[in-house]
Chain A
Amino acid sequence: MANLSPINLLGTGIRSPREPTFYRALREIVLNRDTVTAAAIWVLLTIIGELSFLQIDMFGDAATKQGDFIDDAFILLMVLAIPIFTLVITMILYVVFKFRAKGDEIEDAAPTRTHTKWVGFWLAWTTILCLVVIVHPGYTGILELRATNAEEPDLTVNVTGRRWQWIYEYEGRDVSLFTKDEMLVLPNHSLIRFNVTAEDQDVIHSFWIPAFRMKIDAVPGLTTYFDVETTETGHFNDDVNFRVQCAELCGNDHSLMFTRVEVVEPAEFEQWIADQAA
């Protein structure tokens, strides 16, 4: 029955059910000084790593619901990645300090070729972890970003890229922006849909608002789109991420192909629209 014990599954590799063998194997492979010390270092490093990571405010707040999801996904992936990284560091450091040959002498180590149960264990945890991230934040993320696709947006902006500027048309509002110095003003707490394309004889651009965390390419002959639900106000002057930045190399002025963005409360936005239309 010993074979079925969870500890045995972790690695003895010995099929015999006889107790003495089992305990010896357990001691040699899991409960020995090297493994336990390394595991302790790993746990310690992981705790330090996670705590210090969670201290840092990586990127400030996203200004949209979608952006918040993306930030959370990033943080979750980071939290999951840290233990893997610390595992690698621990192993390397431990091995380098503990399992060194003395001086220049050449001596062979005990020839362990493989250990089916360790391999099985390794495959199991990597597969499980992989499936976890596929489901969340992978699939949930895809669903989240598309959740509003069937809804009627509060505001639709048609965006056209051309070298090297963006052209915006507020659908149904009779407002269009044509020059680089204009400000793309957007309402807060609204579902906004951007329909993005590029002029026919132009090249590919990419419509990216860093503060919204969203981007989509502007491809000649193709209309792409994405939805965002704004959650915060903001202005380019306070936060550079409130800008539309071209994110696909499009030639000389690629880096300058940006528009300043301002997100304002809906009432203010309506006022702005009225001013523009006038």
Chain B
Amino acid sequence: MAVFMPIVKGLIGAAIGFAIGGGISQLITSFTKEPATEPMIVLGYVFAVIGWLMGVGMWKVWGRQWFGKSTNNDPTGGWERYLRFNIDHKVIGIQYITSLVVVFLLAGVLAILIRVELMDAGQNIFTKNTYNTTMSLHGIMMIAVAVAAVMGGFSNFVLPLIIGAEDVAFPRVNALSFWIVPPVVVLLLLSPLFGGFDTGWTAYPPLATQTPIGGLLFELAFLTFGISSILGGMNFIATIVTQRAPGMTWGRLPIFAWSVLAASVISLTATQWVAYGLLMIIFERVFNMVFFSPPGGNALLYEHVFWFYSHPAVYIMILPAFGAELEIISHFARKPLFAYRWVVRAFALIVFLSFIVWAHHLFTSGMGENLHGPFMILTELISIPTGVIFLSALGTLWRSKLRLKVPLLFALGVVFNFSIGGLTGIFLADVATDIALQDTYFVVAHFHYTIMGGEIFAIFAAGYYWFPKITGRMYNETLGRIHFGLMFLFYNITFLAMFVPGTVGMNRRVAEYPPEFEFMNLVTSIAAFALGIAFLPWMYNMLNSWIRGPKAPDNPWDAKTLEWQTSSPPPLENFDEFPTVTGDPYGYGDESVIHAKFPNSTDAISAEGD
């Protein structure tokens, strides 16, 4: 039981914090005649988070230092080290991955409930309000998974290893960005008990300022999540800039690291905008301000601010996914990454463009019509750098010696699915067709193709690929193939079928719809249930292999990047001896390129270099 102490302390800290914050707020509002509940929740929550952080170990590891006392941040230990404020990036990576898998499964179950409701045109298991809450929760939880799983999870574990570093640049900030995620999940799960929020994940005001307390919890959760994402972005940039192994020049940086750098630039800057958007909603709720309602306010303000983050955010999701996909393709194709430099340029261009296309979500919002043209053009231009990623993937595959292992299967799945997701994006970027398609299931199908078909598939690819490194054990290849086969098939049926009702006039975010669209919805629902079942072999495989799978060799894929040149799982300091990088990581079929040398290695070439 002792292993749960930090969590228990954290909860106690949160309770004390809430009492203090709530008390202060009550004191203040007792002087005014305003309603006091929402201010109390907000202030109480802020203090509760601080109390929680201190309790789970931030005080011991970090806080004491501010007061000139000694700290104890021993990151070693058995599995109890995963249950406290721990500054080892590998522990944090695993903390992120496991918590987000849980969130993903919960959100997936919500998706199944959505599909049960939508099997026929009428009202089944939900009331209209609970349907909206379920749908919104599904959306925001999945978005949280999509933003944090590659960045917080896999980047945390892999990035320092792949650039030959001992840890990230700011290990304690790193732990902080993980430990503010649990409050997010708690708030989201609590929100249905407080009336839920029927705003969708986009939370457009004035609706969002009028929802029950559940809506406020949602806004606080999203805001907190943003802070985590900002700190993560800052940390990854500093890590890549300062922690690369000697000799790891920019031209030798593995593409995954490049993609994380690109995504970090976005999460560092753009996330502040959604924070401000949510803050405005909270201010409007708590202080009766008028940002959004007439007279004075303007509802479009939120839409602009929100999408100024949330559009770039889709590239926070997809860029590291592309990075992982290309990494895997190169190593399993046994061929250097095709057009490496162009991919890096493409990343840079995507980051740049991603900041100036947000209003393509607003073509029907009533914003100035003179903005339609520019935003349409800029949006469609993004297809050019994105196309370069396809060029690189296909160019690497051509004339390769493919090893068709599970990670590669998923990576090929990304190429296939994202081509559908990306191309349907063009239909939405076109003003004329978007005016017809906006807010229909066509959009829903588009973003499930990009996020789920692109990013979640890439996460599974990354999960299988790095599983031996993370756990030190091998997964079961056959089960992995079964998982891929089922998932690929039913995923595509589910979401291809969704395009049809979207094109012929079914709008999203409805629990009831005209019976004319029933058939395709039934197809989607049944395929979605089968899709749910496709995850069972995966769950069994992961759990079983982690506990009693065969021991993994250090480098099961015979890959050249640095994370495979250390033991599985890596030691606390990542490498027994630190490498010096001497060439790029994709030197397959080219004896002259050696990625790295280790000082005392028995390897003939490196011995000379010593």
Contact = CB atoms under 8 A, between A and B. Distances in A.
Given A96-B404, A109-B335, A240-B514, A73 B504 contact: no
B336 A112 contact: yes
Given A221-B297, A221-B299, A251-B198, A119 B339 contact: yes
B540 interface: no
B438 interface: yes
A8 B485 CA distance: 41
A161 B511 CA distance: 20
A224 interface: yes
A53 interface: no
B295 interface: yes
Contacts of A245: 505, 507
Given A142-B432, A200-B294, A249-B132, A113 B338 contact: yes
B300 to A, nearest CB: 7
A88 B377 contact: no
A101 B398 contact: no
Interface in B356-415: 364-366, 369, 372-373, 376-377, 380-381, 383-384, 387-388, 390-391, 394-395, 397-404, 412, 415
A249 B50 CA distance: 35
A71 B204 CA distance: 29
B233 to A, nearest CB: 29
B340 A114 contact: yes
Contacts of A203: 204-207, 210
B436 interface: yes
A106 B403 contact: yes
Nearest to A196: B366
A139 B373 contact: yes
B380 A216 contact: no
A20 interface: no
A224 to B, nearest CB: 4
B556 to A, nearest CB: 11
Interface in B502-534: 503-505, 507, 509-514, 516
Contacts of B423: 81, 84-85
B410 to A, nearest CB: 13
B433 interface: yes
Interface string A131-175: 001100111011011100000000000000000000000000000
Interface stretch (B53-61, B105-113, B587-595): B587-595
B383 A130 contact: yes
Interface stretch (A43-51, A185-193, A205-213, A262-270): A205-213
Contacts of B404: 96, 100
A139 B511 CA distance: 36
A112 B335 contact: yes
Interface string A69-107: 110011001000100110011011001100111001011
A107 B334 contact: yes
A115 B395 contact: yes
A248 interface: yes
Contacts of A138: 376-377, 380, 430-432
B242 to A, nearest CB: 28
A112 B336 CA distance: 7
A204 interface: yes
A76 to B, nearest CB: 10
A215 B443 CA distance: 15
B577 interface: no
B70 interface: no
A126 B204 CA distance: 35
A130 B341 CA distance: 22
B380 A84 contact: no
A118 B416 contact: no
A234 B300 CA distance: 34
A221 B295 contact: yes
A108 B383 contact: no
Given A145-B431, A221-B299, A204 B412 contact: no
Contacts of A247: 364, 438-440, 507
B328 interface: no
A127 B334 CA distance: 30
Nearest to A223: B366
A206 B335 contact: no
B398 A95 contact: yes
Contact of A122 (B132, B387, B415, B430): B387
B427 interface: yes
A139 B431 CA distance: 8
A109 B401 contact: yes
Top 8 nearest A-B pairs by Cβ distance? A221-B294, A141-B432, A210-B505, A108-B589, A255-B510, A224-B366, A213-B436, A111-B589
